[in-house]
C-alpha cells in the first residue's frame, strides 16, 4: 500500500492545517509556504495523484473543485483577481503527489507567456 500523502494525513486529522472550508468532496487549507499573500490549496478527498490521472468520471469532482475555488475567491473578496494553478508532475513543480489546486492572489504575478512560448 502506498504511503499516505501529507494531504491524506491532514484530512485524517493526523497533521495540523488551517482549514477554511470542507465538504464531502474536498477541503481548502492555507498553504504552509505561501507564494502570495493569499495562497490556498483546494484538495479533493479522492486521492488522484495528478491531473493526468483524471478521467471523464472525475469531471463532476473537477468541476466542484473549480466552483469551490470561485466561492473562496468571493468569500475572501478577491475582486482584483486570482490565479488557479495545478502543477502536474515533477517537471511542473509538483511536490505532493495528490492532486490539488493552488489559489493565489493579492500579488502581481507575471503573465503566463504561453503565446510567446508557442511563437518562439
d(CA 23, CA 45): 9
115 three-class SS: helix
d(CA 69, CA 61): 12
Grid cell of 101 as nine digits: 489546486
Q: Is 48 exposed, middle or buried (0-12, 13-18, 19+ CB in 10 A)?
A: middle
Sign for the CA dihedral angle at 21, 24, 25, 31 comes to positive
Of these residues, 39, 98, 100, 102, which one is catalytic? Answer: 100
* 64 assigned to active site: no
Residue with cell 501529507: 6
Grid cell of 81 as nine digits: 483577481
- Which residues carry out catalysis? 100
Amino acid at each position: 500500500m502506498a504511503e499516505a500523502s501529507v494531504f491524506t494525513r491532514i484530512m485524517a486529522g493526523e497533521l495540523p492545517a488551517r482549514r477554511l472550508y470542507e465538504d464531502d468532496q474536498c477541503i481548502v487549507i492555507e498553504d504552509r509556504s505561501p507564494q502570495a499573500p493569499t495562497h490556498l490549496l483546494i484538495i479533493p478527498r479522492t486521492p488522484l495523484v495528478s491531473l493526468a490521472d483524471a478521467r471523464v468520471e472525475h469531471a463532476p469532482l473537477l468541476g466542484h473543485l473549480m466552483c469551490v475555488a470561485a466561492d473562496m475567491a468571493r468569500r475572501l473578496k478577491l475582486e482584483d483577481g486570482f490565479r488557479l494553478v495545478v502543477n502536474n508532475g515533477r517537471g511542473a513543480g509538483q511536490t505532493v503527489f495528490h492532486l490539488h489546486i493552488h489559489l493565489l492572489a493579492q500579488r502581481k504575478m507575471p503573465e503566463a507567456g504561453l503565446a510567446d512560448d508557442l511563437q518562439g
